[in-house]
Structure 1
């Protein structure tokens, strides 16, 4: 043990910790999960925004820690052949995308590499024994988002709306966002114009004054239905009827205008009070053969085209023959559950958010699906209770948030001994950690399929098949 410690100390001594404001030449050999270029100088790791693998760059160190630091790109000495000119005019300021400067095919390859790296480094998984497929991308990787959440502010010219400058709450005013559907851009712009015309003030985050905080737009790709959610600091909207009338005149496919009140001094977008100002409480959309009711607060996948790809792969990995009982942990509004119910004998979904379970039950009725049941609660508590009632599962599907699965849930999966586990993940590092836990508990990772749900960002989703040994 002492020998090991001294070896670690020697290794640390060989790494020169760089100084803040130091100028360095760096070869970039990787991308981080946040889309930053990664390189080393004298063994010291640097993360550099906008730098790409294969490039040699000149950079200025901006922040240092013991094992790594950050630097600002000053000059590209040797360019990557995959570097492209970002088409978005505000890409350099906006924090919404991270990879527009990287060609799309290379984005897909880098995302596959990110998954492979996390599986081996964190999960200890032997990739000689596991099939990791190339990332499934889009033929048209633009204009794919069906939902926009845009903060509203003011400058000397009037109301502005757009995404925040990276790492700040300074709003970058925008006329269009190239990953949003065009309908979202039109609604945001028109809503700003009408509010400006009616003298409605934007919310000031510092002073906690003003009225209009955010505009949220939801668009049904399949139905072309629109919902507009006005998030305000107060319940009263000046000239409310005129506001509604002008929005209705502008968008014939508008089905719903909602007001949500958030009086708190917080960065959280939605408040507790939600009311229909005009139209319906829901709009509708469809993924494959399944129709979904979408409310102002519903979670619904923002890229419906790739969601179909993701869920088809999950259904393929579940290998359902029609006689199975399936448990869907973290079921949300029932999106995956209802896909599975088309092929399974019975599906049991569990989700901690009561409103999501209400939506899941509504969506089951909407599609005349009678073999799907849903329960409110924490999966790590509800599923053991089901087990105590004698319920077993042939297949368990998990689609957790970025933090991954609760360890108690993983332990329950191991104890339930399903034939297969299908793990849908939005975070390769927590995925790798959880796969290691399941493999230690008697499961074998068989196949991994990365899916590009968010082109031009650093995010990647995965579907993984595990089989019980």
Structure 2
């Protein structure tokens, strides 16, 4: 171990996790170094260390490691640092696949094997439910692993600085663009398009999105390019014995991991009664991905979505796939429409990262549906919402 100060570092007052209002961009910048021993994972891609009584959040490190850290943001309660040198690496540390890992803000755990990443995320989910949801879960079973660990993302939005000729992603906690030549998580069609955009005679004037499909159809949205069109794409999803072709307009949201989508849909369908008698609401339904699949296993299905472009896609997807089941889409805020819809046997929820608003939670409690199937990309808000529904 380099340095001679590690033995004097004290573990101060414990803190459970990152604060709910954690927003590093709003915190006063500082610059100082510290020698720290990393103690535990804390969510949001960070770990916790202690400097006397103060909590230090550090990314790209592993519990048990001893590190030299640059502390660049600080409040009276906590500080945020980045590793300058791993003085004592964990035996779990591996070399990341991506050369930009630790610079680009896109990934948090590439210093761990995929199996270890799953274990870490499982523990963070359990901790979120215990701490925020006040729900004690002994374990999480039935974890769905991604068939593809790299080159799985079907969509990337690239940040652009036209003056400095930068194309890439923001560094963590900043607006600084890390210039990249390819993304290890993106499907090959996206990386091919990125190279094409970089080579063309006119540098992109602003941010752009690249979307590709399992069949290799790739588009570049929001800018004009010499090789690619700025248009919608069509993606066929095969799950639960059904094939559905989805139109995805350039401003519509779609799940980013094609290899997981069928497994996720089949898990949702497995919670439905096999006799198909249930009335189902799909809240935050987007282009109808869940809605159309579960409609084959229900008496009636209603999708509610606020984005008009997504609802337009959903209706077109229903018609183009000749879906004969009783399925309808409503363009409205969930919190404004849910009360009018009456009772549902099953409510499927896949909200944005912020989770559900209080009005929606209040209505859900009055409906007293038999089943609520909740998908989330952010466990803390999921735990918070489930606590509200359970009280």
TMscore range, shorter length: 0.7 to 0.9
Distance 1:118 1:112 in 2: 10
Q: Does 2:96 align with 1:142?
A: no
Q: 2:355–2:382: 8 Å Cα contact kept in structure 1?
A: yes
C-alpha distance in 1 between matches for 2:181 and 2:71: 34
Q: 1:155 Cα shift?
A: 6.5
Q: Which residue of 2 aligns with 1:385?
A: 340
| Aligned counterparts of 2:273 and 2:92: Cα–Cα separation in 1 | 38
Asked whether the equivalents of residues 249 and 310 of structure 2 are also in contact (C-alpha less than 8 Å), the reply is: no
CA contact (8 A) 1:112 1:134 kept: no
Match of 1:167 among 167, 173, 181: 173
Task: Provide the secondary structure at the position in 2 that maps to 1:58.
Answer: strand
- Cross-structure match for 1:27: 37
Query: For residues 201 and 146 of structure 1, do their structure 2 counterparts lie closer, same or farther at Cα, with a shift above 3 Å needed?
Result: closer
**CA distance in 2 between partners of 1:230 and 1:307 (Å):** 26
Q: Which runs of 5+ in 1 are unaligned?
A: 1-13, 204-212, 232-236, 238-242, 249-256, 259-275, 441-469
Q: Counterpart in 2 of 1:132? A: 140
**Closer, same or farther: CA 21–151 of 1 in aligned 2, 3 Å:** closer
1:60 deviates by 4.2
Aligned counterparts of 2:74 and 2:137: Cα–Cα separation in 1: 34
Please state how far the C-alpha of 1:162 moved relative to its aligned partner.
2.1
Give the one of 415, 418, 428 matched to 2:366. 415
Q: Provide the secondary structure at the position in 2 that maps to 1:163.
A: strand
Inter-partner Cα distance in structure 1 for 2:384 and 2:163: 46
TM-score using structure 1 length? 0.72
Q: Which residue of 1 aligns with 2:248?
A: 294
Give the 4+ runs in structure 1 shifted more than 6 A.
none
**Which residue among 202, 217, 220 is the counterpart of 2:210?**
217
- Return the offset for 1:292: 0.6
Query: Counterpart of 1:360?
Result: 314
- Cα separation, partners in 2 of 1:354 and 1:72, compared to 1, 3 Å: closer
* Distance in 2 separating the partners of 1:201 and 1:220: 25
Partner of 2:130: 120
Greater C-alpha radius of gyration: 1
User: Which residue of 347, 350, 353 corresponds with 2:304?
Assistant: 350
- The aligned counterpart of 1:323 is 277
Q: Which runs of 5+ in 2 are unaligned?
A: 1-11, 15-29
The alignment of Structure 1 onto Structure 2 pairs a total of residues equal to 361
Q: CA deviation at 1:22?
A: 5.8
SS in 2 for 1:405: coil
Q: Residues 318 and 421 of structure 1 are in contact (CA less than 8 Å); yes or no, is this contact kept in structure 2? A: no
RMSD, matched Cα: 2.3
Cα displacement string for residues 203-245 of structure 1 (whole angstroms, at most 9, x for unaligned residues): 3xxxxxxxxx133221111x322222243xxxxx7xxxxx65x
Deviations 1:115-136 (A, max 9, x none): 00000000100224xx522643
- Tell me the distance in 1 between the aligned counterparts of 2:266 and 2:136: 26
**Which residue of structure 2 lines up, in the alignment, with residue 374 of structure 1?**
329
> Is this contact kept in 2: 1:285–1:292, CA < 8 A?
yes
* TM-score, length basis structure 2: 0.85
| Contact map agreement 2:147 2:260 (CA 8 A) in 1 | no
Matching of residue 56 in structure 1 with residue 56 in structure 2: no
Residue 23 of structure 1: how far off its partner (Å):
4.8
Aligned to 1:92, the other structure's residue is in SS state: coil
